[in-house]
Amino acid sequence: MIIIERKDNEDINRMLKRYKRKHKNVRLMRELRSRKHFTKKSVQRRNEIKNAEYRLEKYGEE
């Protein structure tokens, strides 16, 4: 669970911004979505390799 402490005289919008940033950095939603469906280890590994190849092709050595 993500806890955000309110600082002295802090605006609620600033608190929400800190919460959203923390939520994004924790990658909570990504984990929840991935747990929705079971993925076999072999399929998971295959997807990791495929994504790595894509990143290497797109952003790799130039």
Residues 16-27 pLDDT 10s: 999 999 988 888
Strands (E), 1-62: none
What is the model's pTM? Answer: 0.51
Within a domain: 7? no
Residue 53 covered by a domain? yes
How many structural domains does the chain have?
1
Examine residue 5 and state whether it is found in any structural domain, yes or no: no
Residue 52 contacts residue 37 (beta carbons within 8 Å): no
Tell me which residue range forms the domain holding 21.
12-59
> Is 28 in contact with 2 (CB distance < 8 Å)?
yes
The answer to whether position 4 is within a domain reads no
Residue 42 lies in a domain: yes
pLDDT of residue 29: 85
